[in-house]
Every structure is written in structure tokens, then in C-alpha cells.
Structure 1
Amino acid sequence: MDRDSAKFDEMRDEHGDVREAYSGYCEWYDGQEKGYLKRKDAEADETFRRTGITFNVYGENEAEERLIPFDMVPRIITAGEWRRLTRGIEQRVSAINSFLYDLYHRQEIIRAGRLPARLLRDNEAWLPHMVGLNPPGGIYTHIVGIDLVRTGPNDFFVLEDNARTPSGVSYMLENRETMMSMFPELFSRVPVETVSDYPRRLARSLAACAPECAKSDPTVAVLTPGIYNSAFYEHAFLADQMGAELVEASDLRVVDGRVQMRCTEGYQPIDVLYRRVDDEYLDPLTFNPGSVLGIPGIMDVYRAGGITIANAPGTGIADDKAIYSFMPEIVEFYTGEKPLLPNVETWRCADPESLKYVLDNLSELVVKEVHGSGGYGMLIGPTASRREIAQFRKKLEAKPQNYIAQPTLSLSTCPIFTKKGLAPRHVDLRPFVLMSPNGVDITPGGLTRVALKKGSLVVNSSQGGGTKDTWVLKE
């Protein structure tokens, strides 16, 4: 038995029998001719190339754009499993929103001694400009991605919170469209919840967050850094699917106290700006003065209640991995309940005792930068060389507050399609969550990322991972 097959596999149990969730799919799969499946696999690759679904890899001399590999074997979740997940996700995102409001107002959680004040001091994601500011509807986290991992039949853990600008939803939608186009008969045999209405739900949720000055039919726009951004495809895709305007900084200016968009008849006010530009570049008059990606004066308009910015500036503090380690306390503080979705056990390297444990066990742990993302700046101890461990040890000793550590989890596996047949690979899941004054809306599914290399635990596309269609079965 190879390393991957020793883990919890979502398709087959320890006896090799097909689990309930996959029974309909496996019955269909076993009836297909292998040559047909290989042709469909090649067809999927060609579809993604033709559509132009790519991402950029920064810091490399090779071609800027790459195709994200797509695997045509779906990841399947039962209706009962999804119900349990949604309850935990809703609890968590509600707590995060309350936490952000508190941090930028009275900071009761710090006063109560449940969160160290040092986590805000010198934290680049903390924005003093947001202190005392009330975003329209009290919503900070309009769009959230919660990264989940599974280790057993009922064991789901939150690996990361993405409250700043979670990406990947366009791949969720394109994966489903590709699967439905290639295998329409499969969806008539297996009842799967839809994800295709996500853009409509997003548009509705954003419109519900419009400021009081907005008209009855608020204008929503997507702010992109431009065509060279790694996620530009997604920005353009979502704007098109929502029927919203796709704008760059050069299209916008502040006129008469409103952020307005240049159009053929002059300038038109924007009510809700779904920005895919980082805080630092959002307003050169408030943040980075050299930014050409933002709108001079937008923060003044925001403070005056003249526009909704989604997600709110300053939400990145909730993405901090040191803050993540306090999420059990945060959930309980704001909801009065124990977390329904647990964290992965985490050691805060800023704590001397935790640092000693991490340094003594580097070869067994995963160590991450508190502000890191995309699989960069991390050490996976069990697969690292002695030299890599020695180099990382020096980084830890120099700046321990920059790191957290976690155990190497036995992530669940799902099969991928290979030339030799199905083979298990490790996966995670990013459900996409919308929040507005009307409540929390969770699309049934999400983006399943898969580590295509045998034995690899890194699912990020920038590190060679791929994606799958995620099916939530209907009742």
C-alpha cells in the first residue's frame, strides 16, 4: 500500500468498498470505456486552454501564464455532511465579522484578556484608518473563503480563513460548466446541488450592502489591478456574470463626494465597489502614495458613507495566521458557543515554549509565515531536506513572531484520473461564503484543490496543484 492509500480516502473505505457518496458516480464510471474517458480528459484540457483560464506565476523567468490543471473525477460530499459544514462555516464567518467590528471599535476581546494586544501592534494588516468607521450594514467580510481539510469520516478542520480577497470562485464555476458539458448524462443520474447561480447570489448580496445614499438599483463595479494581475481572468469573469462594470483606477475619480465611473455620457456614481486591489494600493492619499491602482480620495468617500467597499479595508487582520490560532477563543467570545469547526492544532512561535517545541520537532511539522499565502514561505518538515530545515531554523530563531507551526495532517484523499486509472491524491476545500445584512449565504460546493503529485500535501496552484469539481448531493 502506498503512502497516499494509507490515509482516509473519500471514495473507498478501508475494505475497498465504495462509500455512499460515490455510489452513483462509481456505477457510471465503471460502465465507461477507458478510451472514451482518456479522450474526455484531453478534451477538458483543451476546453480550459481555449477559454483562457490561466493564472500568473510571479518571480519566475518562464512563461508568465499557466493553465491550472483540472481533474475530471469530482469530489463528492453528502447532503448530511454539507449541513454540518454549513452550520460551522456560518458560525465562523459571523464571529469573524463581529471580531473585526470589535477590533476597530472598543476592542472588548483585548480588554477581556482573550487576545494579546501585541497581535495588532506592528501588524501590517491592521489599519488605524478604519478605527471608529462603520461600514454600510455593519459588514466587513462580504466574501469569505474558508479553507477546510478532512482527516476522517466526520473530521473536518479549518486550515485557513480568507477574509481579504478570496480567489478561485471562477474555477469552481468553470469546473462545473466543463463537467456538465462533457458528461450531461452523469448529472441526470446523480442529483447534485447547483453552483451556477453564484454570480447572481453575489450580485444580490453586494447590492444589499449598498450605502444609504444609493438608489433603489445600486451600481456595482469590480475594481481590478489590470490584465497583468494573476487573477484578472476571475475579475473579468465575475463582472461579466454579475452584469457589473469591470473598472480600473483610470476609469474612476471622486466627483461631488462620490466615487464615479467614466462612461460615454460623463461620470456615473458607483455604490458598491468589489475591489480586487490590496489595501495598500486602494487610495494613494491614505496609503501608498505611489499607487496607480487605486482611487485618490476613496477613503474619504468611504468614511462619509458614500460607497461600500467589499471587502472592507482592514479585513486582512483576520487572515493573519497568528490571529487564526486564537479563532476558537474568538468564536466563543462573540457567539457564546464552542466552535463547530475546529482549528488545526497550532503552535505560536512568538511564545518561547512553543518555539522550543517547534525547533525541536521541525522535521515533523509544517511551519508557515503568519502573512504568507499561496504555499510560499512555508516548510513541510517531513518532505524537507536537512539543508532546508537548517535554513528555516535560522529564520525561526531570527524572527519567531513571523511564524506558526502545525502538525503534518493525514489529509484525506480523492482519486484523480491518470493514464493508468484512478489514483488517490490529497485535497482541501474552499467553500465561498457571502455576507450581507440579509444574512450568510453559502454556495453548496466550493473549490476543491488537489495535490497532483503523489504524496504531496501542497495543493496550491502556484505549487503544482490542480482543481476538481465539487459536488454536494441533493437530499
Structure 2
Amino acid sequence: MLKDYQTGIFFDEMMQPDATPKPHYQWFYQLVQEFSEQELMEKHETAQLNFLRQGITFTVYNQGNQLERTMPFDFIPIIIPEKEWDTIETGMKQRMKALNLFLEDIYNEQRIVDEGVIPRDLVENNPYYYYDQVAGINIPLQNHIFLSGVDLIRDEYGQYRVLEDNLRNPSGMSYVFQNRYVMRQVYPELFFNHSICTLEHQISELHQAVMSHVPDGCEGEATAVLLTPGSYNSAYYDHMFLAQQMGIELVEGRDLLVQDDVVYMKTIRGLKLVDIIYRRIDDDFLDPDAFRPDSTLGVSGLLNAYKKGNVAILNGIGNGIADDKAMYVYVPDMIRFYLGEEPLIPNVETYFLSDPERLDYVLRNMKDLVIKNVGASGGYDMLIGPQSTEEEREVFREKITQEPHQYIAQPTIKLSRAPAYQSGRVYPCHVDLRVFVMNGKEMNVLPGGLSRVALKEGSLVVNSSQGGGGKDTWILSEGGGVNA
């Protein structure tokens, strides 16, 4: 299977430079060698059909068209030894603790700004800073980040680095569970006698995290709902899966009503009180009275109900300032300021283009850098210098010259790679890892997370909207054989 596999200059998750498997992959390597090419091809096709049958899809928006696709799946897992995972888990908890303290601070005392750790204008001029709407609100558990999705990469030395924090509406958790389900259906041989951390109780952990945000004064059993923009949203499958698995209602804005600053759900038996809203709608669309008046997705009066403490909204309103790509640069400083600790997992070096010297450097070295719009996500409005044309660089040169504050630049990191099996062959593809952190009364990190893979050969973009796919992620325990 891997006789022609080349690790090259990149850190490889599975293979050593001498083309032998790393110790924690040895058993997997030997097992897969026993499959014939025909068996591998049949299993691969069965896996893709499994995703199709279950309706595991996402939507790509391309030139005004909406294309629904199944998530491409690759059966070669990312395997992480337990000791290595412990470091990731501790680093994620540290980062989320600091980011939550930052959000609580800037909507209340603003110590981090007063003490000059973060420039005031970077906070006050941030388009995702909703001070007037949410300042001073006493939210349950003082917790703004119920669920985060932190994107990690590995550089050429195998060092994990945080590429991005997703603190508003992180998507993809459903794919973690479905990747595992399909893997067990199609490749049951891989799970015999190997101690892979289970995902069995993680939906229960997510549900507990949701329900722990009960507003003060709630009497009796709390009611939670998942608020979706609707079936045309790119992550609708994610919304549907999580609501179903947690046993909470999936609702749209038209299903909710605010009366006397209290939120109700319309049911065939009349109105039912709603205490907690796990929303998958961006801030701007949540309440047409408080944000965008043209929004048809939200609920009029929802912000007032939130301010009065009659409903909890997860994730919190105004989180966008903390996962803004410009604010990302300051997260290590937040960890030092709030926790008095050094960051366990470093950032990628980042340049602000609002700095004239940095802007000049970036304009002269565009072909060697990655340039991102601070407000964009999903791989959109991004230039990958080494893979760009002169024409594409010229377009970006004009954009960042006109709005330098809207862009950041980063060195092109040699992203780690892993083998991928597609179209009957194995070849190296770049990968990253989205780690999901759930936070309620306690913080819990989903074991493994979502490994995303750039299936297009040579591509550095792992986003599903840009041709990427998914892999199952295994945390390999040192103990006995617990099946996943």
C-alpha cells in the first residue's frame, strides 16, 4: 500500500523519514497490508455510500449556486498516543479558560485594555464587539464559550500550533461521530484488541454542558432548543444530528416567540417556555429589533429576554471579538494576563498589516506568505502565496492596500501530512485537527476531534468547502483493549 509513499520535507503523522511506520501506527500498517487492492477499493466505496445513505452532507456556495455534497472520507485514521493527547487537552483547556475570562472582562471591567495589554482601538473598533448590546449581562456560569472548535496544525518539526479559534458557531462535531460510526461499520477489523478512546458518552457530556446553563429563577425542568437558520444552511446536517442526539427540539426563528421578555416555543399544545437556546445563527441575525432589521432568521425581542436573564444563549452574544483573526495574535498575552501561565500550545507567527512596516514587508513577499481576511472563514478570501498566480497576488495587493486593517499575514508553514487513500492509491495529504471543547460546570475535551485533510494533491486548504475531507481520529490508550 505504501511502497511508493514519499514523506518529503514534511512532518508525517504516520511514516518516518525512512518510510517505515511510527511505533503507534505499526499495528495498523501491518493489518492494512493484509487487504488486497480490490478489498480496499470496495471498503472505500462502501464508506462513501454510507455517508450518502445517511444524508451526511454539507453545502458549498459557489458563484451564486448551492451545491450539496457528501463529506469525502478517508479511512486511514490519524492516531495520537495518549500522552501526546494529554498535552493537547491541557493546552486547550488553558486557552479556553483565558478566552472566556477575556470575554467576561471586555464586556465588564476591561482590565486587559486599561492595563495596555491589548490596544483599546483594536477592541472598540472591532465589528464583532457588541458592547452596547451585552455589556454587564450576568450570564449563567459567567461562561461565554459553551462550545469551541480550535484548529491545530503541526509544523515541520511536529510542534502543534493553534491556527484558529472558533468561538461563535463551530461546526463539524457531528462528523466526528459519523466518521467513527462509518469506520466501525466498514473496517471492524481495525477495532479488535486495540485500546482507542471511546466517544460513547460524549453526546451526553454535550447535553450536560447545554443544560448546566440554566438561567437564575428557572423552576422545574429546563427546556433547551437548538436554533438553526434552516435546511439551506451549509451546516444543517450538523444542527439536525446534534439536536436529535441530545434529545432537544430543532427550531427555526419562526418557531419561537417572545412575550413580556420571556421566550416561548410554539407547539401543537400551545406555547412552551424556553430556557436555553443553543443557537447556530450569527449575532447579526438573532434579533431584528437589536441587530439587522432585515433578518428573517431570528426572533424579535430575544436580546431583551437575554438581558433580563430569562433565557441563556449559547454560545454567548459578542464572542466574535475573541476569535477574530486580529485578536488571535493576543491570545498568548491573555493566557499570561489572566492565568499567569505560559501558553502550552503556541500560535502561528502573525503580522498585522495595519503596521506600515509589516505591510511593506508583506507586499514585497506575498509569494511566500498566507494572507487572510480577519472576518472571513471556511478558506474564503485567503491567498496562499506559494500556490498563487501573479494575477491573484495583484488582486490581493490591491485589496490589502485599500484596507490593510482587514488582513493579516502568516508565514507559509509546512503543514504536517498523512497518507490518504483515494482513487485506488495512497498519497500524502496535508492535515489539520479541529479540537472541540465543551464547557459547562466542568470543561471537557472531545477525545480526538475532527481531522481534516486536503485531498487535492499538494493543496494546503483542508476546508470541506474547498475540496477537503475528513478522517477518524484515534487517541490510542496505553492500557488494555477498550473499543471505541
Same fold (TM over 0.5): yes
**1:94 and 2:97 are equivalent in the alignment:** yes
- C-alpha distance in 2 between matches for 1:346 and 1:384: 19
Q: 1:154 to 1:465 in 2, by over 3 A?
A: closer
- C-alpha distance in 1 between matches for 2:426 and 2:193: 21
SS at 2:39 equivalent: helix
Output one character per residue of 1:106-146: Cα deviation in whole Å (capped at 9) or x when no partner.
Answer: 11111111101121233221102111112111000000000
- C-alpha distance in 2 between matches for 1:141 and 1:7: 34
Contact 1:283 1:291 survives alignment (8 Å): yes
Find the counterpart in structure 2 of residue 227 from structure 1: 231
- C-alpha distance in 2 between matches for 1:10 and 1:61: 37
Letter in 2 for 1:38: M
Match of 2:147 among 136, 143, 146: 143
Q: 1:362 to 1:222 in 2, by over 3 A?
A: same
Q: 1:466 to 1:390 in 2, by over 3 A?
A: same
**1:115 and 2:118 are equivalent in the alignment:** yes
Q: CA deviation at 1:294?
A: 0.8
**1:330 and 2:331 are equivalent in the alignment:** no
Written as runs of structure 1 = structure 2, the 5 A alignment for 1:303-452 is 303-436=307-440, 438-452=441-455
Find the counterpart in structure 2 of residue 289 from structure 1: 293
RMSD after superposition: 1.5
TM (normalized to structure 1)? 0.97
**1:64 and 2:67 are equivalent in the alignment:** yes
Letter in 2 for 1:472: I
Letter in 2 for 1:446: G
Q: CA deviation at 1:216?
A: 4.6
Q: 1:265 to 1:59 in 2, by over 3 A?
A: same
Match of 2:222 among 218, 223, 226: 218
* More deviation, 235-244/286-295: 286-295
Match of 2:130 among 123, 127, 130: 127
Letter in 1 for 2:252: E
Letter in 2 for 1:52: G
Match of 2:184 among 164, 180, 184: 180
Contact 2:454 2:463 survives alignment (8 Å): yes
What is the aligned-residue identity percentage? Answer: 44
* More deviation, 392-401/182-191: 182-191
Q: 1:2 to 1:456 in 2, by over 3 A?
A: farther
Q: 1:216 to 1:29 in 2, by over 3 A?
A: farther
- C-alpha distance in 2 between matches for 1:402 and 1:62: 27
Contact 2:362 2:369 survives alignment (8 Å): yes
Contact 2:7 2:17 survives alignment (8 Å): no
Output one character per residue of 1:275-332: Cα deviation in whole Å (capped at 9) or x when no partner.
Answer: 0011001011111111111111111111111111000000011111000011111111
Output one character per residue of 1:58-85: Cα deviation in whole Å (capped at 9) or x when no partner.
Answer: 2435552122211111111110110010
Find the counterpart in structure 1 of residue 269 from structure 2: 265
Structure 1, unpaired ranges of 5+: none
* More deviation, 410-419/303-312: 410-419
**1:73 and 2:76 are equivalent in the alignment:** yes
- C-alpha distance in 2 between matches for 1:125 and 1:306: 24
Contact 2:156 2:413 survives alignment (8 Å): no
TM (normalized to structure 2)? 0.95
Q: 1:40 to 1:420 in 2, by over 3 A?
A: closer
Output one character per residue of 1:224-275: Cα deviation in whole Å (capped at 9) or x when no partner.
Answer: 0111111111111110000001011111101343211111221111111000
Find the counterpart in structure 1 of residue 14 from structure 2: 11
Structure 2, unpaired ranges of 5+: 479-484
Letter in 2 for 1:278: D
